[in-house]
């Protein structure tokens, strides 16, 4: 089964994303900030990470930089999933090593199509 780590400080968003991902046959784990997410990745590397931008403790961007600097057993795909929808943000995310970008609000079709684009759905 493919695995996805959902990183978002909103419990509601995590729940919505989990629901969609489970119908797409993903095994889902959750983290509420970048620090928790990093710990989770050290323990086991998911196939894909759905990543919010603005979070307490450690932002999505700081997490992504730390992740891409860490030697892991495999390279997880990273799909940003955020309300930041300006071109400058998108460009910064891609430059930092994100593979795809979802602008909130999103629905099932959007998420599914983005996961297909990174080769996972």
Is 107 among the residues that bind another protein (CB under 8 A)?
yes
Residue 56: which residues within 8 A CB-CB, separation 6 or more?
Answer: 9, 33
Would you say 53 and 10 are in contact if contact means Cβ atoms under 8 Å apart?
A: no
31 versus 93: smaller Cβ distance to another protein: 93
Q: Is 116 in the site for another protein (CB under 8 A)?
A: yes
Whole-angstrom CA distances from 44 to 15, 16, 31 are 21, 23, 13
Candidate ranges 12-20, 25-33, 39-47, 97-105; the one touching another protein (CB under 8 A): 97-105
Contact with another protein (CB under 8 A): which of 23, 54, 70, 113?
Answer: 113
Query: Interacting stretch for another protein, rule CB under 8 A, among 14-22, 31-39, 70-78, 102-110?
Result: 102-110
Q: How far is the CB of 6 from another protein (least distance, A)?
A: 18
Q: Does 96 bind another protein (CB under 8 A)?
A: no
Q: Helices (H) and strands (E) in the chain — how many of each? A: 5, 5
The answer to whether the beta carbons of residues 28 and 18 sit under 8 Å apart is yes
């Amino acid at each position: 089964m493919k695995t996805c780590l959902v990183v978002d400080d909103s419990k509601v968003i995590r729940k919505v994303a989990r629901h969609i991902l489970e119908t797409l046959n993903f095994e889902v784990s959750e983290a509420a900030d970048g620090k928790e997410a990093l710990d989770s990745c050290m323990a086991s590397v998911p196939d894909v990470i759905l990543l919010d931008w603005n979070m307490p403790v450690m932002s999505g961007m700081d997490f992504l930089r730390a992740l891409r600097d860490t030697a892991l057993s495999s390279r997880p795909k990273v799909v940003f999933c955020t309300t930041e929808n300006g071109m400058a943000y998108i460009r910064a995310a891609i430059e930092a090593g994100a593979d795809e970008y979802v602008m909130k609000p999103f629905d099932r079709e959007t998420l599914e199509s983005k996961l297909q684009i990174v080769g996972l759905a």
